[in-house]
Homo-oligomer: A and B are copies of this chain.
């Protein structure tokens, strides 16, 4: 049984190095580092333009990640022009203004409360739209959870294509909604500054929780 397998795996840990290990089915350590352990949140940006095609590629990767009933509620506006940045600026918390104005692109990541209207296309084998009809709480919960999951996929997809990111929650979402999503049911979730980060201006990395503080086996 699996519990025995896990016990044996635990015994193995006592005598073999675990970190880093080259697992046969894992992607290579350099790629893992680009996505996770070596990547950093950036606040300062190199003077290096971001090709629009790379941002498209990141969206087309992120949309392949799983969502509940294939709801795909994430919506994104890439604010890259000076005009778009100026519209975004009044909504930003003071500590986020400079880094956002100087970032090559800022992604406004939202979720669409009208996602059920797409389900006849996205989940065609059952009437999934009917599950949500008239249930505003279920719609909001599903959109927020899955839109945030997709936000996680999107952050890693941006890193996967070679970009650096600086995600932010410090802004007034109602102001961003009113400026960018008026006439829709899209709600702003968070922002991501995107570019090529200036690694000379990074702070030391903040600590992380130990495995045992996050997870356990039952």
Q: Name the distance in Å between A124's Cβ and chain B's nearest Cβ.
A: 8
Q: Mark A50-83, 1 if CB is under 8 A from B, else 0.
A: 1111111101111111101010101111111111
Q: Name the distance in Å between A78's Cβ and chain B's nearest Cβ.
A: 5
Given contacts A6-B80, A218-B80, contact A122 B207 (CB under 8 A): yes
Interface residues of A in 191-218 (CB under 8 A from B): 206-209, 211, 213-218
Give the B-binding residues of A (Cβ under 8 A): 1-3, 5-6, 9-10, 12-13, 18-19, 21, 23-28, 30-32, 34-37, 39, 41, 49-57, 59-66, 68, 70, 72, 74-84, 87, 104-105, 118, 121-124, 142, 144-145, 148-153, 155-157, 160-163, 165, 167-169, 180, 189-190, 206-209, 211, 213-218
In the complex, are the beta carbons of A145 and B6 less than 8 A apart?
no
A63 to B215 Cα, complex, angstroms: 11
A70 to B160 Cα, complex, angstroms: 21
Given contacts A56-B211, A152-B153, A211-B59, contact A32 B122 (CB under 8 A): no
